């Protein structure tokens, strides 16, 4: 026998099903990845390379002279990986791409709106802000990042600029 009791205009059973459906959707939203995570051409292990003594600037070669830090090109990798250093399939991918004259096509993780200007040269070179300040401790990363470390929101930038006595004038970042 079904109950005719109502809750907020719904029968008790309908209300229970709606509540369970809402709760299930909420739980799914909390555990399901939000958006596609980019797959990089190789599973680059920062931990291994930093542990071997490499610096960020050894691979991200444009940061000191450009707004963009630069993502490593195949020639940069081949400086060390011309011959096998390990039995890694990822290392072999680099040599295979080089042999086929194909580039490493990295997916850029940090995307800023086109009206914003951010310069690695200004931040990392002129202001001597360590890479880890924005990118985190890459010496522990065994795979490439799949998302920015923090949300690129105006308050994030303003807070950092104020903390570091940098300009908060609109024209500094907005072009």
151-172 per-position pLDDT tens digit: 888 999 999 999 999 999 999 9
How much is the mean pLDDT over the chain?
86
Give the total residue count for the chain. Answer: 175
What is the four-CA torsion angle of 147, 152, 153, 154, rounded to 10 degrees? Answer: 180
Residue 21 pLDDT exceeds 70: no
Q: How confident is the model at residue 27 (pLDDT cuts 50, 70, 90)?
A: low
Is residue 92 assigned to a domain?
no
Q: Are 175 and 117 in contact (CB under 8 A)?
A: yes
Neighbours of 69 (CB within 10 A): 21
Is residue 166 assigned to a domain?
yes
Q: Do both 119 and 149 map to the same domain?
A: yes
Predicted structure pTM score: 0.73
Q: Do both 9 and 66 map to the same domain?
A: no
Confidence (pLDDT) at 23: 62
Q: Do both 55 and 23 map to the same domain?
A: no
Q: Do both 6 and 55 map to the same domain?
A: no
Is residue 88 assigned to a domain?
no
Residue 53 pLDDT exceeds 60: yes
Is residue 86 assigned to a domain?
no
Q: How confident is the model at residue 113 (pLDDT cuts 50, 70, 90)?
A: confident
Question: pLDDT: is 31 or 18 the higher one?
Answer: 18
Q: Do both 112 and 26 map to the same domain?
A: no
Is residue 117 assigned to a domain?
yes
Q: Do both 1 and 67 map to the same domain?
A: no
Confidence (pLDDT) at 34: 55
- Inter-CA distances, 120 with 19, 31, 88, 134, 148, Å: 49, 34, 32, 11, 15
Q: How confident is the model at residue 110 (pLDDT cuts 50, 70, 90)?
A: confident
Is residue 37 assigned to a domain?
no
What is the four-CA torsion angle of 73, 78, 79, 82, rounded to 10 degrees? Answer: 180
Is residue 39 assigned to a domain?
no
Q: Are 140 and 85 in contact (CB under 8 A)?
A: no
Q: The tokens of 166 are what?
A: 């940098």
Bridge partners, 116 (sequence order): 174
Is residue 18 assigned to a domain?
yes
Question: What is the count of structural domains for the chain?
Answer: 2
Confidence (pLDDT) at 130: 93
Domain around 157: 46-71+106-173
């Amino acid at each position: 026998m079904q109950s005719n009791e109502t809750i907020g205009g719904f029968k008790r059973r309908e209300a229970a099903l709606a509540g369970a459906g809402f709760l299930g959707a909420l739980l799914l939203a909390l555990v399901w990845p939000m958006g596609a995570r980019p797959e990089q051409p190789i599973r680059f292990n920062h931990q291994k390379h930093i542990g071997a003594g490499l610096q960020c600037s050894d691979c991200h070669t444009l940061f000191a002279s450009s707004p963009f830090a630069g993502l490593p090109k195949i020639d940069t990798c081949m400086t060390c990986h011309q011959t096998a250093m390990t039995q890694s399939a990822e290392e072999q991918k680099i040599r295979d791409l080089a042999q086929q004259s194909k580039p490493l096509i990295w997916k850029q993780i940090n995307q800023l709106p086109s009206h914003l200007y951010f310069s690695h040269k200004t931040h990392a070179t002129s202001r001597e802000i360590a890479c880890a300040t924005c990118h985190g401790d890459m010496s522990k990363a065994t795979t490439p990042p799949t998302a920015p470390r923090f949300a690129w929101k105006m308050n994030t930038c303003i807070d950092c600029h104020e903390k570091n006595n940098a300009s908060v004038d609109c024209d500094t970042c907005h072009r």
